[in-house]
Structure formats: C-alpha cells, structure tokens
Structure 1
Amino acid sequence: MIDLSHKPTIKGCKVALRPFHFKKDFPAIAKCLKDPVVLKYTGSDDTFEEEKSKDWYQTRNSQTDRLDLAVIDKETGMLVGEVVLNLYDEQTHSMNFRILIGPDGRNRGLGTEASKLLLDYAFRETDLHAITLSVFAFNPRAIHVYESLGFTVTSVDKDDLEHQGDWIDSLNMTLKRSQWKRI
C-alpha cells in the first residue's frame, strides 16, 4: 500500500496543484463536472448530484489511499480542474491516474503541466512501479499528451462506451518508472 495521507502543494510555471479548499473550490469544481466536454470525455451522464458531490469533495483531503488535488491556474488563481492518483494495485505496484480540466482551463497547456507535475511527484515521492490510465479513443488530444509523457497503450477495451449511438473503445495506457521522463 502507498501512504498518500500527505497532501502536497506542487507548483509549476502555469499551474499549482494543491489540496481542495472545499468552500472556496466547490463552485468551480461543480462547473467543471457539469461541462459537456468533461462529461463526454469521462463517459459521464449529465446528472449532477450536488449533495453527493459536496460529500465527495469534503472528504478528499482525509483519504490516505489516494491523492486528489485541485488544479489552480496561476494566472487567474482559479480552480480549473483536478488530478487524481487512485486505485492502488498491489500485484503490479501501480496506481491509476486521471485528470479533468474544465472550460476555464483548456487550450493553454495547463492539463499537460498538471499531469507532468503529478507524475513527477508520484515517482519521486513513492516507490510505485507504474501509473496506469484509461482514455476513450475519441479523445486524440489526451492520447497525444499521454504519449508525450511516456505512456504506452497496453490493451484496448473494445466498445467500452456508447456515445450518441456509437461504441467507443477505451485505451488502457501505462507509464513505467523506467520510462518516466523526469521534469
């Protein structure tokens, strides 16, 4: 098991990753969670359960088996998304990575930098062997970013998501410690 009870603040050039400040951050993360682009690329429906979401985000900082951090745009000081390490796999000594960037943070490289910062933290501060993720095949921008960070496709879940009448594959990708590009 990996102990992720410490919730760091990690600063980059464009973004800072930090623990959630629930009262301040919830309106912005709620906006992200309702965004049609986020819903599409996460395979979510448009049902937003505010109370359930509030309960979830109020507990992120107390979790010891996962790391959930807010992505803050340093230029505006606004929360624009989140990065997460979760789902420890004891057999492979790996964890899952996920990221979402809402409408106020897209198209400026903030997600790429946030991803680099979290991956760097994970490999420097833990002894994880690998980090995994899953991305839908209809998200070529994300796939490109993940590949540029060193992730490789390890398997494909065929027809994993039905979206507007089409079946979409999910690509499972892995970044091994030996392939990690240090910042």
Structure 2
Amino acid sequence: MIDSSALRDKPTLTGDLVRLVPLAEEHADVFYEATQDAETRRLTGTHRVLTREEALRWCASRARRTDRLDLAIIDRAQGRYVGELSLMDVDADNESAAYRIALSAIQFTGRGLGREATRLVLDYAFSRIGLHRVWLEVYAFNMRAIAAYRACGFVVEGRLRDALLWEGRRHDALVMAALEGDFRKAEERAGR
C-alpha cells in the first residue's frame, strides 16, 4: 500500500551533487528558459514551446498537486537550477508510477547530475511512497539517458515504434522500468 502523504508533503532530497526541492513559482524563469532550449525539447520530444505565463502557472501549481511529485534539480556546487523531474501517473492499486526528468541544457549532462537525481527520487519512491515499480519512456537515440537509467536499475521492457516525429524523421521510444529489487541491486553494485 502506498503512502499518499509522501506525494502531498513535498520533500527536499539531498545527494552529493544535487539537491531536489519542490518545484515552485521561484523556479518559473529558469524553467521557462529551459523549455526554450532546442536540444532539451528534442531529447524530451516536446514540440510545443511554453509561454512565460504558462511556465509560471505550471511551477506555481505544483505544490497543490497531491497526486504527483514535481521537484527542481539544483546543482549543489553552483547552487543553480539545472532541471526538473516528476513522479506522476501514480497507480496506487498496482504500486506503480511514471517518471520523467529533463536537464535544462547540454552543459549539465555528462556530470552525473541526472543519475544522482534519479537515484534520489527512486529511493524516495520505493522507501517512502511505497511504490514497487517506476517506469518511463526514453527515445532510442538518447543513449546517455538510457545508460544512466540502466545504472539506476531500469530495464528495457518494450519498444514503441515510430513514437516521435522530429524534423521529418521518426524515432522509437523505449519503455523502461525499475522494480524496487532492481534498484536495490544497482545500488549494491555501485557500492551504496
């Protein structure tokens, strides 16, 4: 049985590289700027560009959502926003939820920030919320993200063929999931 208060009470989670804090109105400007980045939009398959007002409304509304968890990713070394993540589509009956993460610019990739953010939120999902399964979709061309997800215990479960049409080309999406046991084994392999 899941603990829905763990979705309602927005946590702050701290690792060596990142701090995850509740996504809020104070993040709206940097969140908006991130949505303008062409590479971020390609990696997330986001065709529509938000307006500044839509970004403000989105960030300001996250604290009121009791059915999902939206967190800003803060680089601890620089103290700046580098992206955001969500646990959403929570299925309490099956102890499952979807996951998504977006780093805001290419300069923040390859440093382990996304991997640590994913580890922190998976630990919270399994230990505090009581989930058994966390799943995601990632485009097959996003090899860096796929490697990071695998390092956190995600396993490829399937392929959605031609799921994304981007600049005239079609791309597959992979469905990946981490069960609590997969995540714990990945943590043991990493010496944590």
Q: Give TM class, smaller chain.
A: over 0.9
Query: 1:142 aligned to 2:141?
Result: no
Matches within 5 A, 1:62-73: 62-73=64-75
The answer to whether the Cα contact below 8 Å between 2:29 and 2:56 also exists between their aligned partners in 1 is no
Distance 1:109 1:155 in 2: 25
In structure 2, stretches of 5+ residues that fail to align are none
Q: CA deviation at 1:21?
A: 3.8
TM (normalized to structure 2)? Answer: 0.89
Counterpart position of 1:52: 54
- The residue number in structure 2 matching 1:75 is 77
Richer in helix (by share)? 2
Query: Deviations along 1:114-173, whole A, 9 cap, x unmatched?
Result: 111111111110221100000001101101111111111111110101112211001001
User: 1: CA distance between counterparts of 2:20 and 2:132?
Assistant: 23
Identity within the alignment, %: 35
CA contact (8 A) 2:10 2:22 kept: yes
State the one-letter code of the partner of 1:94: S
Indicate the SS of the match to 1:180: helix
Give structure 1 regions of 4+ aligned residues with deviation exceeding 6 angstroms. Answer: none
Of 127, 130, 145, which aligns to 1:127? 130
* Offset, 1:37: 1.3
Q: Relative to 1, partners in 2 of residues 1:149 and 1:112: Cα closer, same or farther, differing over 3 Å?
A: same
Q: For the aligned residues, what is the CA RMSD?
A: 1.5
Residue aligning to 2:157: 154
Counting only pairs closer than 5 Å after superposition, residues 85-100 of structure 1 correspond to structure 2 as 85-90=87-92, 92-100=94-102
Partners of 1:7 and 1:131 in 2: CA distance: 18
How many Å apart are 1:14 and its aligned residue?
Answer: 0.7
1:18 aligns to what? Answer: 21
Gaps of 5+ in 1: none
Q: Offset at 1:105?
A: 2.3
Question: Which whole-Å CA distance do the structure 1 matches of 2:69 and 2:163 have between them?
Answer: 26
Question: What is the count of residue pairs matched by the alignment?
Answer: 182
Query: Once the 2 structures are TM-superposed, how far is the Cα of residue 91 of structure 1 from its aligned partner?
Result: 5.1
Contact 1:162 1:168 in 2 (8 A): yes
Contact 1:2-1:88 at 8 Å conserved across structures: no
